Amino acid sequence: MGTRIQAVYRVESDAKSIEARARGIAVEQSVEMPVAAIVSRYVLDEVLGRLESVEDLGGGEYEVRIALASATTGYEAGQLANMLFGNTSLKVGITLSDAVFPDDIVSAFGGPNHGLGGLRDRVKAGGALCATALKPQGSSPAELAGLASAIALGGIDYIKDDHGIADQPYSPFAMRVPVIAEAVAKAAAHTGVPTRYLPSLNGNLDAMRAQIVLCRSSGLDTVLVTPMLSGLSAFHTLKRENPDMAFVAHPSFGGLSVAPSLLFGKLFRLLGADATIFPNHGGRFGYSEDECRRIAHCALHDWPGVRPCVPVPAGGMTLERVPEILHFFGRDVMLLIGGSLLSAGENITRETARFCEAVRAHE
């Protein structure tokens, strides 16, 4: 008998309908046809989704647990997402809230290439990490390189492209990446902090493959990827093909009826995110403290065969909040500050240094 993934859904329903709704999910996420019409014993025994339990959570909401055959995923990232929440994502009042993966799934996808320890080693850090983003869109390669240099002189660990900076005519990837990489390397040589620049990969799989080649030739070993835009399969393929590279996952387009802790914390980690960015509580996206705590837990909890993934709270981060955020998340975290830091203008090197000092003071 093959292994099974336990998929967990939160379902809005009345008591009279919940059993039928739950069994409907089990069918929809496996055989997707009337069970009475299936004659194959193998399909009925090994492929059909199994309703494991229904728990009344109160307030018209239920937790439904369904066991889905691992073999139906084909051990491929896109099909894994399809089997977990394909057609059911089109239905009203259903959220995919969690999934428990058996060992064969974990082995097939492998998790991060480097994880928390690897991202610390890259910048010779022992505690919490600090990061920022290059903005705004519309800036030229020279302007972005100048900004990156000024930030790197403040001793920051990681500088990423804003996820909206792609391959636009005003800042083509092939022109932008080498000059920013050179500027950051020069600043790092001056400060002694091995600051890493993370270009934002974009386009189809072939384009991103070529971009990684350019990144490597520019001396870079860490990149930013947006799995929900590039595609989960493309992301996992890049991770698998480039074991020397670390991948930081951006959450854009991730606002689906999937629990953020599962998507950003567990699924991105399983597919290979070394670090995962998510909206922090108290910021502009409205995530709660409990949601952020769950994301961080899913990214870091002990998972045999899968390295820890660095939680990266972001969105509305300010220097004043650094002690509070480090108290909340602890030292296994990377703090990403964007607009607040960039608002410093000509004082950005000084403000970057203050940010890094505030983070490292808690090591």
Q: What is the residue-level pLDDT of the chain in tens, covering all 363 positions?
A: 699 999 999 999 999 999 999 999 999 999 999 999 999 999 999 999 999 999 999 999 999 999 999 999 999 999 999 999 999 998 989 999 999 999 999 999 999 999 999 999 999 999 999 999 999 999 999 999 999 999 999 999 999 999 999 999 999 999 999 999 999 999 999 999 999 999 999 999 999 999 999 999 999 999 999 999 999 999 999 999 999 999 999 999 998 899 999 999 999 999 999 999 999 998 777 789 999 999 999 999 999 999 999 999 998 788 999 999 999 999 999 999 988 888 888 999 999 999 999 999 876
pLDDT score for 339: 81
pTM, rounded to two decimals: 0.93
Burial bucket for residue 33 (CB in 10 Å: 0-12, 13-18, 19+): exposed
pLDDT tens sequence across 147-190: 999 999 999 999 999 999 999 999 999 999 999 999 999 999 99
* pLDDT more than 90, % of the chain: 93
Peptide bond preceding 323 in cis form (omega within 30 of 0): no
Residue 133 sits at the vertex; the CA angle it makes with 154 and 174, to the nearest 5 degrees, is 105
d(CA 150, CA 147): 5
Query: How many contiguous H segments (helices) and E segments (strands) does the chain have?
Result: 16, 12
Task: Give residue-wise pLDDT tens across range 295-330.
Answer: 999 999 999 999 999 999 998 788 999 999 999 999
d(Cα 54, Cα 136) in Å, to the nearest integer?
48
Q: What are the chain's domains?
A: 4-107 (3.30.70.150), 115-360 (3.20.20.110)
